[in-house]
Amino acid sequence: MKKALVTSLLLLPFVILTEPGFSNSNNDIIAAKVSTLLEKMTLDEKIGQMVQVSSAEEQIPSEIKENIRKGQIGSILNQVNVETTNELQRLAVEESRLGIPLIMARDVIHGFRTIFPIPLAQAATWNPAIVKKGARVAAVEAASVGIRWTFAPMIDISRDPRWGRIAESFGEDPYLSSILGAAMVEGFQGDDLSKPDAIAACAKHFAGYGAAEGGRDYNSTFLSENLLRNVYLPPFKAAADAGAATFMSSFNDNDGIPATGSKFLLRTILRDEWGFEGFVVSDWSSITEMVNHGFCADEREAAFKAANAGVNMEMVSSSYREHLKDWVESGELPIAVIDEAVKHVLRVKFELGLFESPYTDASKFPALVNEAHLKTAKEAAVQSIVMLKNDNILPLSKDVGKVAVIGSLANDKVEQLGTWIFDGRPEDTRTALSAIQELIGKSKVNFTVGTENSRSKDKSGFSAAIEAVKNSDVVLLFLGEEAILSGEAHSRADISLPGVQKELLHEISKVKKPIVLVLMAGRPVTFADLVEQVDAILYAWHPGTMGGPAIADILFGLESPSGKLPVTFPKHVGQIPLYYSHNNTGRPADANSWVSMDSVAVHARQFSDGSNSNYMDIGSMPLFPFGFGLSYTDFVYENLKLSSNKISMNEILEVSADVTNTGKIAAAEIVQLYTRDIAADITRPIKELKGFQRISLKPGEKQAVVFKLKADDLAFYNSRMEFVTEPGLFHVWIAKNSQEGLMAEFEIIE
Ligand code: GLC
């Protein structure tokens, strides 16, 4: 057995060396304030801090007023009327015995009023700076109505596009999700959590929720500790290191234990190994749902198990309010468990400055949906769009002649915004149709929906669509999914285009005009059978308020597409789970040749030719791989160089390649770095993303792109759960996507 460099279990992958959310001196001062306050609190008041209630009514229900006055509510979610928020806060601060302020919460997943592209689309930017800027805009807008805590970033690794919540995630890769999740935390929280426009982030859903069996939301997960530590936990560690003030326990049971009742997750990992000091909130009624799971006999037991596991605040369900006092007074639940939970909650409230400034002065904030916010949202949308095909048709010239814009999604102010927008308003949406008309003139645009919406089976609009195409020189066909077909509780077993959209394309293609397909969806949909029928494909996801102008600017060349896929696009739903960072197996699939079903003779006897990990009908390759995305120019990668072909455990390996823009258009390119550990204590993936750089090159310009790799960057949890980097042979790629690239070998020596 090779010796290995065993680093501390505390050193998890993707350590983002950012000062945690609490500075030391501030830490001590706050700790003292928390302790002083805690000593004054009754048991009822302590449990009150562990209770979150949802209340969206502008007129505060009397029961809520009463409970606030009694100090029996610690947080309100879903109130976004600033007058009401201030009144709720006044009740807590001025009419309760100890005046402990409430923490007001809201889901601000990809924007508050200015809606940004869905997180999966933001992941396609591979740009932490724009993700951070978007979160900052969201924080300023949400804080202006009194919201000081949001339930984002959602950093569940998502490798199953049947799962509707893939839309909210940053995709399939731990490294990319770690970088972008940390950026979102920093954007929400700013450089000082006590500033009035800072809002506490919440790393969710902890943990493993995205591995729901069958891609069916809320379903069980069966992640080994190894897979948890090497794939699903790193983004949460990165969020904790970025100073996330809160975590949310997830709905799923993993390997038989609901996350909301898991001491392993909420204490061993989060507190003991990571030293997390914020607080943990349950996800909605996930505490009482442990009865449904069959993990608790009743809600009374659920309260006990969740509190003991380390859930510090109960969202919406009432098991803490109803049962914790009994557990403590019976002596079965140590008061220390309550005190610890309340300390974490009070600490965040002090960090937010709520005791000093509990009220919101809306006049001190910029207007919602202002030009600066819209500009940032457009920038994010432009960078999120991925060009998947271009047979020399894009970008279009403004003198292109008549343009047929077909499809309801080209002009749907609601669907463009995507899932999980509570406070976005359709009237703010700038659609692609309006942007295209603005760019080239209304008279040149023939618009018709073709079908009323993405699910419609009514073909009566086909004839108008065909007529529009006949009277046009080029077709911009907008197909995809409505926003409600992704997001929470909206998993799909068949992820092809719903309704009769494929039939619409087929009919239009008979007119033989050039077709640009713009797909808008909250997940990778399957469309392998459409690729050959069109000349170009843009994947625009659900791009938010400014998605229309972003799409138009790319279509007409004011911007060049730079997005890269943050998730693998399967040819067929039957290939799922399908992701780039898979193990090699003992009989690796041969990408280019397999025994196809059609090649096997009838009555063929059992044979083992080509027995590798493949599908006889579809093969093992994706339609488009992780990291893939085209540009209006070409980038040539050459001259891969390593500073050495051997490094010791404490040396740095420099890996570089020259990237040249050989085309005629200035454009951005996301250069990716992948590695592979050839032989290790456990089987390791055939590739892992370890770095990326966004570069911009003018036509003809060449840049040497340099990555620095340390042994720690190659560490993983081995079979003994040691976080190690083993000596041995590695492969390294500098690439434009996960399926190709310049490759070299190097060795790590003792
Ligand atoms: C939900 C979601 C969670 C969200 C919470 C509050 O059910 O799972 O992501 O933050 O409720 O709305």
Query: What's the CA gap between 329 and 204, in Å, rounded?
Result: 33
Encoding tokens for residue 405? Answer: 């814009």
Q: Is 151's C-beta closer than 6 angstroms to any atom of ligand 1? A: yes
| Region of residue 532 (left: phi > 0; alpha: psi -120 to 50; beta: else) | alpha
- Three-class secondary structure of residue 57 per DSSP: coil
The finding on whether 204 has its CB within 6 A of some atom of ligand 1 is yes
Give the contacts of 382 (CB within 8 A, at least 6 positions apart): 550, 553, 554, 559
Which residues of the chain are modeled with pLDDT < 70? 1-24, 608-610
Which residue's CA lies nearest to atom 10 of ligand 1?
151
The whole model's pTM is what?
0.96
> How high is the pLDDT of residue 597?
85
Q: How many helices (H) and strands (E) does the chain have?
A: 19, 27
pLDDT of residue 4: 46
Q: For the chain, what percentages of helix, strand and coil (3-state, to nearest 5) are there?
A: 35, 20, 45
pLDDT tens digits, residue range 207-242? 999 999 999 999 999 999 999 999 999 999 999 999
Q: What angle do CA 429, 432, 434 make, to 5 degrees?
A: 80
Tokens of 12: 């998890």
pLDDT of res. 609: 64
- Beta carbons of 349 and 355 less than 8 angstroms apart: yes
Atom of ligand 1 nearest to the CA of 152: 10
**For residue 425, how many other CB atoms are within 10 A of its CB?**
16
CA of 284 to the centre of ligand 1 (A): 6
Distance 472 CA to ligand 1 centre (A): 46
The best mutation among 147, 283, 316 to test binding of ligand 1, ranked by most ligand atoms within 8 Å of the C-beta, falls on 283
Cα 479 from Cα 455, distance rounded (Å): 11
- For residue 136, report the distance from its CA to the centre of ligand 1, in Å: 21
Structure tokens at 70: 């009694």
Beta strand 445-448 with 257-258 is unpaired
Residue that the structure tokens 């979150």 belong to: 52
- 283 in catalytic set: yes
Residues 6+ positions from 371 with CB-CB distance below 8 Å: none
> From atom 7 of ligand 1, which residue's Cα is the shortest distance away?
284
Which pLDDT belongs to residue 594?
A: 72
Distances (CA, A) of 439 to 260, 432, 539, 561: 51, 10, 20, 18
- Within 275-340, strands assigned E span 279-281, 314-315
Rounded-to-integer distance, Cα 152 and Cα 201, Å: 6
CB 634 near ligand 1, within 6 Å: no
CA angle 671, 643, 712 (to 5 degrees): 75
> What order do you get walking across the sheet with 314-315 strand by strand?
149-150, 103-106, 75-77, 51-54, 314-315
DSSP string of 230-254, one letter each residue: IIISHHHHHHHHTT-SEEEE-S-EE
> What is the rounded CA–CA span in Å between residue 748 and residue 750?
7
Catalytic-labelled residue, pool 107, 173, 241, 283? 283
Please write the tens of the pLDDT for every residue from 670-703.
Answer: 999 999 999 999 999 999 999 999 999 999 999 9
**Which DSSP helix (H) or strand (E) runs through 708?**
strand 702-710
Choose which residue among 166, 488, 491 to substitute to test ligand 1 binding: the one with the highest number of ligand atoms within 8 A of its C-beta. Answer: 488
CB of 276 closer than 6 angstroms to any ligand 1 atom: no
- Whether residue 629 contacts residue 561, with contact meaning beta carbons closer than 8 Å, is answered with yes
Measure the CA–CA gap between 591 and 613, rounded to whole angstroms: 10
d(C-alpha 130, C-alpha 183), whole Å: 9
d(CA 296, CA 290): 6
Does 165 sit in the ligand 1 pocket, CB within 6 Å? no
Give the integer Cα–Cα distance in Å for 539 and 517.
8
